[in-house]
Each structure stands twice: as structure tokens, then as C-alpha cells.
Amino acid sequence: MAVATDVLPAPPREPIANAVPRRGTRGRIGVVPTASMLTTAAIATVWFWIPLGILIVALSSIPSVIGFLIAAVIFVYLMRGVEWVERHRSEAVFGMGIGVPPRRMSPYSGFQGWAHQLWLDSTSARFWKGAAHHYLRMLYDMLAAGLALALVAFAFLGPAAATAVRRSDAEAGLSFLPPALAWVFAVVAVVAAVAVLVFAPALDAVIDRWLLSPSPTAVLRRQVDALADARQGAVSSAQSERYRIERDLHDSVQPRLVSLAMTIGLARTKLDTDPPAAAALIDEAHADAKSALVELRNVVRGIAPTILADRGLDAALSSVVGRAETSGVATTLDVDLPRRLPDEVESVAYFVVAEALTNIAKHAAATQAVVTVRFDEATGLLHVSVFDDGRGGAVIDAGDTATGLAGLAARVRAAGGSFDVSSPSTGPTIVTAVLPCAS
């Protein structure tokens, strides 16, 4: 499957870097957090020593470079996997929506890229915060679970030991709590053990949010990168639009106007010597003028569709789908919009659908297309997708083989959204755009 990304070169990043963790105590205590703590403590009794042993081996093998490299690579891969598991475990147990810190990606490929990526990972704050989180969680969970186990053990064994000591031979010199006091302490120990098991996971959540969250600097850097991408997308989109308008004027309106000027010139030369021929040329010029007006109206309509401003996105897309069906591609439109969206969002969504359907008619050899537009009130995102059952192979390419997808990618990026094309060589093709709708 060929999955295209933005046309402008930019280092790939992991998503959700600026998510704000949800605070509060809800969900931090209960059966699931307690079970998670006990499971971690049980696994840690064995697992605790494995990555630590590998790290010690790596450090002790520095003089023999090969041994150090092998142990270091194993340790890096282990910790990367552990961080992934810990993030999913934390989200499943506590559901705090902790964001993922951005990860620097190597621009190289092949062995050089693999080695460089290992270096970037092993020298990043995210990597060592993940390792510290893993070991801090294991230590804390082992201590909490061990304390609870010791309290339970005392609750069961304390009164029995007190009774046995009391009944033992006085000459043996044994001493312990009086049985009555031992029973009181046993009850207190049981209550304390239950309290530890119930409330100790709350600190697990604090540790997760502390060490798994991106730093404020990383969040700010990610926002700056996103703004830079949006700015670059706006510039690319404006250039693409200007080129399209110039091309449309050059290919359609300009020839009509040139023909009109030539026809009027010929009519003027024949006006005195051959009035009937001049009249015919004037009629021809009149037809050229009307054609030029139609072409000019089409160009203007492509810049700012009147129906979009007057009647909204639903009506505008219905018009686009109606025109697409005249090209022989059966098209289904499914729109769910509870209200009008900001003008710029409607405009971008309209052009995504219009350009995608134009590409389908020109390049896809498809028989069916489906346009789906959904607005999610909870997230404030507009989801636009265009599916076709054509031959596939569409890619975002700004070169000579460009099919307009590069311009759409720039336009969506300028609006702060995301744009993807999934188009395996055997089809089908799905073009998706997700647009934020700040209102």
C-alpha cells in the first residue's frame, strides 16, 4: 500500500505531543490500578535485573567495543519497547491521556539511518525518562506490595506467635506482644494492608504523569514546528492557486479574447468593402465574447464558488457530485453537518472534494466514488474522505506527474489540518483530510 504524506520535506513525528493530561483522582484507585501494581511488582522480582544486567554488561564491555555495542543495542531496544508498553498500560489503567513526547527521526536511510536513529534515541531525554519511569515504578510497586504482604503476614502470624510465646517455658526467655495486643495489631495490620493496596496506585499515576509526559519545552517546540508547517503550507497553497489561475486564464480565457480581437479586426477591414462579411464576422465576435465570459465565469467560480458562500458546504458538494456523475463515475455523497462551519474550513473541504473527484474522473478509471463529510462536535474536527474503486497508485507529487494532491496537501496544512492518501497500486484510493474548526 502506498501511503503518501506531505509533499514538503519535514522530519516525521509521532502524534499527540501537545495533549494535556487529564487531572483528578478519578480512576487512580480501584481494582484495576491495584491489580496493575501487584502485577508489576510480581514481574519486577525477575525483570528488574535483566535490563539492569544488560546495562552493566554494556558499561563493563566498553574496552571491547563489539561487546559494548551489542549490549547497548539490546538495552536501547528493550527500553524502547518498555516505554511503549508502559504508555499503553498507563492509558489502559488510568486513562489520563498523557501526550507522547516528539521523537527526533533520522534523515538517513539504510544502515546509517538505523545507527543514527539508535544514537538519537539513546541520547534523548524521552528515552532516559522512560527508563527512569520503568525502574521507579518497579521499585515503588515492589515496596508497596512488599509492605502490604508483610502486614498481611503479621496479621496471620502475629497472634499465633504471641500465643505460642505466652505458652512456652518461661525458662526459655522468649518474649513477644501479649496475645490481646497482638490481635489488636493484627486488625490494624489488615486495615493498613488494604489501605496500601487501595491507595498506593494513586502515586503510580503521579509517576506516570511526571515521567511519561512531554516537557513544556518539547510541547512548545512541537507547536512552533506545527505553525511553521502551516505557514509553509499557506505559501505553497497560494503559489499553487496562482499557478492554477494563470494556467486557466492562459488556456481558456486568453485564446478566446485573442480570437475576439482578430475577428473584430477582420470585421473592421471589411466594413466598407463587404458589409455582409463584416456582419458575419461581428456575429462571430459576439459569440466569442459570450464564450470568453463563460470561461471567465468558470475561472472565477473555481476561485470562490458562489454556491458555497450562499448555501453552505452541503449544497456546494451536492453540486460538485452532480458534475462528477456526468463524467460517468457514480458518486454517493454522505454529509453530516449540524451547522455552518467557518468559511475557510468549508472552502478547504470543498476544494479537497472537488479536486479529488476531478482526479478520479481523469486518472482513476473508477466506476464508483463515495464522498463522506462528518463534523465531530466533541473534538471540533471536520473529517472529509473521498473513496473510489479505481486502479490506485495515486501519490502526492509536486513534480511533473502531480495530480493536484500536492496542492491539496498544502492547502490542508495551511488550515492546520492533516492530509493523507492511501492508494495501493491495485486500488482502491482513499483521500482523507481532517480539519480543525475553531469557531
| Among the ranges given (46-60, 115-129, 312-326, 389-403), the one the predictor scored with the smallest mean pLDDT | 389-403
Averaged over 382-394, what is the pLDDT? 87
pLDDT value at position 13?
Answer: 41
> Could you tell me if 391 and 367 are in contact, meaning their C-beta atoms sit under 8 angstroms apart?
no
Tell whether the model's pLDDT for residue 37 goes beyond 90: yes
Give me the chain's average pLDDT, please: 81
Q: For 355-387, write each residue's pLDDT tens digit.
A: 888 888 878 788 888 999 999 888 889 999 999
In whole angstroms, how far apart are CA 273 and each of 45, 263, 281? 110, 16, 13
Tell whether the model's pLDDT for residue 12 goes beyond 50: no
pLDDT value at position 18?
Answer: 43
Question: In which band, very low, low, confident or very high, does the pLDDT at 139 lie, cut at 50, 70 and 90?
Answer: very high
Q: For 303-312, write each residue's pLDDT tens digit.
A: 666 677 778 8
Averaged over 52-65, what is the pLDDT? 86
Tell whether the model's pLDDT for residue 5 goes beyond 70: no
pLDDT value at position 11?
Answer: 37
In whole angstroms, how far apart are CA 268 and each of 261, 264, 285, 408? 11, 6, 11, 47
| CA distance linking residue 313 with residue 341, whole number of Å | 8
Neighbours of 235 (CB within 10 A): 13
Averaged over 165-174, what is the pLDDT? 73
Averaged over 252-277, what is the pLDDT? 81
> Could you tell me if 399 and 7 are in contact, meaning their C-beta atoms sit under 8 angstroms apart?
no
pLDDT value at position 317?
Answer: 86
pLDDT value at position 257?
Answer: 81
pLDDT value at position 172?
Answer: 67
| CA distance linking residue 107 with residue 116, whole number of Å | 9
Which cell goes with 189?
495490620
Nearest to 385 by CA among 375, 399, 393: 375
Averaged over 165-189, what is the pLDDT? 81
For β-strands 330-336 and 418-422, DSSP reports them as: unpaired
| CA distance linking residue 241 with residue 301, whole number of Å | 13
Averaged over 388-401, what is the pLDDT? 72
> Could you tell me if 434 and 426 are in contact, meaning their C-beta atoms sit under 8 angstroms apart?
no
More reliable by pLDDT, 175 or 263: 263
> Could you tell me if 320 and 357 are in contact, meaning their C-beta atoms sit under 8 angstroms apart?
yes
Question: In which band, very low, low, confident or very high, does the pLDDT at 6 lie, cut at 50, 70 and 90?
Answer: very low
Tell whether the model's pLDDT for residue 347 goes beyond 60: yes
> Could you tell me if 87 and 212 are in contact, meaning their C-beta atoms sit under 8 angstroms apart?
yes
SS3 329: coil
> Could you tell me if 394 and 424 are in contact, meaning their C-beta atoms sit under 8 angstroms apart?
no
| Among the ranges given (229-243, 366-380, 413-427), the one the predictor scored with the smallest mean pLDDT | 229-243
| Among the ranges given (6-15, 137-146, 226-235, 282-291), the one the predictor scored with the smallest mean pLDDT | 6-15
Neighbours of 281 (CB within 10 A): 21
The set of residues, in sequence order, having a beta carbon less than 8 Å from that of 262 and lying 6+ positions away, is: none
Sheet holding 368-376, edge to edge: 3-4, 418-422, 429-436, 381-388, 368-376, 330-336
The set of residues, in sequence order, having a beta carbon less than 8 Å from that of 357 and lying 6+ positions away, is: 320, 321, 324, 329, 331, 369, 371, 386
Say which amino acid occupies 156: F
The set of residues, in sequence order, having a beta carbon less than 8 Å from that of 52 and lying 6+ positions away, is: 135
Tell whether the model's pLDDT for residue 142 goes beyond 90: yes
Alpha helices, DSSP H, located in 48-171: 49-60, 65-93, 110-122, 125-167
pLDDT value at position 302?
Answer: 64
Averaged over 388-405, what is the pLDDT? 70
Share of the chain above pLDDT 90, in %: 25
| CA distance linking residue 414 with residue 341, whole number of Å | 17
Neighbours of 429 (CB within 10 A): 25
pLDDT value at position 80?
Answer: 92
Question: In which band, very low, low, confident or very high, does the pLDDT at 7 lie, cut at 50, 70 and 90?
Answer: very low
Nearest to 13 by CA among 237, 212, 219: 219
